[in-house]
A and B are shown apart, each in its own frame.
Chain A
């Protein structure tokens, strides 16, 4: 096997078409339509990019989930980033996805145009160099992401402590996936029959985090890779579960995911982070136990503690025509949004779903759904 196999062979057109034929055949035995929620924005992009919906029969539908860590950050927390970036002697650092997300006063790109020192990095470890090269500045890392990305922030903090770096601080917006899946199912109006589960989350946390969905909620789950063959195979596995009256947690992405996950990464997360009682998700409101923050013993690195008087907690409403919240809940698609593709486009986004590389709106726009 070579590296090319890991890309090309899991994108092979003939294999995709073969799974489409198998799904078409099996779906005739379904007693009713099924709605599959693909939780992760990465999966939404694969479905759109490869036109997978068009290959599926009419009795299989997708509901786009809230698995876009930039999209779900409430406006008031993006405002924190904006406010922090304008403080004297601050360099605000975040991952690239954050650059254009609009908040009350503008995006971080706008803050930069207004004189703020905002830097976008590829890896959290890039913060170390910035901190060492700018000893008189406060480097604030605005940390975002699900379980996939949380251990990297933990490693950064560990290095800050070990190297005795005094000018690097954290604004933590890390969130976890299973709790929000439960909240969506607890809503009696939900139409979710099964989940395509986020897989890079599971690389870290293990597939074990989804056990509760077949066991307690009677919803089958398949942990799917991100290539189009992976997604089609996963849908085929879900359809087979329905026609065989099974309700199980299965892993399609066996080459990268197992039940236990990366235990070392889990331990480092547990060492530095604790669970918040609540974290607000845009469009969904407070989701219990779904957010992380630094443990109390690390509060001297926690900018929410250091600058608590500066950072407002009042809720900020979205633009009145923006339906990102409904899209993230899976009760609307971007096509139902009045401003999609008109006043809300990737170059002038109104809502976060249009900005983020994992947002449903950016997927629909990019892959020509207008």
Chain B
């Protein structure tokens, strides 16, 4: 019920206040009624919930998170290799 789907904005109909979204290959329309005028642009990533865009996904934060995970993985790999090296 509270599940919401990350989607990409591919078209905006300002008159109808509706955006067309790409949700992993499926195109859907979503209402912009909960977003401020002009806040959503083509190419934005948004959260879709029961036919409405409820928020934008902050691309910078998403990329920062993914970058952090990559760094954590590398640190973990180095520590594990060091331990294996010391054990041999």
A48 at interface (Cβ–Cβ under 8 A)? no
Inter-subunit contact B33/A15 (CB<8 Å): no
Whole-angstrom CA separation of A126 from B65 in the bound complex: 36
The 0/1 profile, CB within 8 Å of B marked 1, for residues 192-236 of chain A is 000000101101100000000000000000000010010001000
Inter-subunit contact A256/B58 (CB<8 Å): yes
A123 at interface (Cβ–Cβ under 8 A)? yes
Whole-angstrom CA separation of A200 from B50 in the bound complex: 12
A151 at interface (Cβ–Cβ under 8 A)? yes
The DSSP consensus for interface residues of chain B is mixed
A76 at interface (Cβ–Cβ under 8 A)? no
Residues of A within 8 A of B35 (CB): 264
Inter-subunit contact B73/A6 (CB<8 Å): no
Inter-subunit contact B52/A145 (CB<8 Å): no
Greatest chain B CB density within 10 A among A4, A148, A198 is at A148
Whole-angstrom CA separation of A301 from B72 in the bound complex: 54
Inter-subunit contact A122/B51 (CB<8 Å): yes
Residues of B within 8 A of A325 (CB): none
Say how far A72's CB is from chain B's closest CB, in angstroms.
11
From B35, which residue of chain A is reached at the shortest CB distance? A264
Inter-subunit contact B31/A226 (CB<8 Å): no
Q: What range describes how many residues of B lie at the interface?
A: 35 or more
A186 at interface (Cβ–Cβ under 8 A)? no
**Tally of A-B residue pairs with Cβ under 8 A?**
136
Inter-subunit contact B73/A15 (CB<8 Å): yes
Inter-subunit contact B52/A152 (CB<8 Å): yes
Inter-subunit contact B58/A255 (CB<8 Å): yes
Q: A264-B36, A358-B2 are in contact. Are A124 and B73 (CB under 8 A)?
A: no
Inter-subunit contact B58/A254 (CB<8 Å): yes
Whole-angstrom CA separation of A7 from B45 in the bound complex: 12
Residues of A within 8 A of B55 (CB): 203-204, 256, 262
What is the number of residues of chain A that contact chain B, defined by CB distance less than 8 Å?
56
Say how far B51's CB is from chain A's closest CB, in angstroms.
3
Whole-angstrom CA separation of A3 from B48 in the bound complex: 13
B1 at interface (Cβ–Cβ under 8 A)? yes
Residues of A within 8 A of B1 (CB): 41-42, 68-70, 95, 97, 144-146, 148-149, 356-358
The 0/1 profile, CB within 8 Å of B marked 1, for residues 1-27 of chain A is 101111101101011001101100000
B57 at interface (Cβ–Cβ under 8 A)? yes
A155 at interface (Cβ–Cβ under 8 A)? yes
Inter-subunit contact A148/B6 (CB<8 Å): no
Residues of B within 8 A of A148 (CB): 1-2, 4, 49, 54
| 3 nearest A-B pairs in the assembled complex, by CB-CB distance | A123-B51, A255-B62, A255-B61
12 contacts between A and B (CB under 8 A): A1-B59, A3-B22, A69-B2, A145-B2, A146-B1, A151-B54, A152-B34, A152-B50, A200-B2, A200-B4, A201-B2, A264-B34
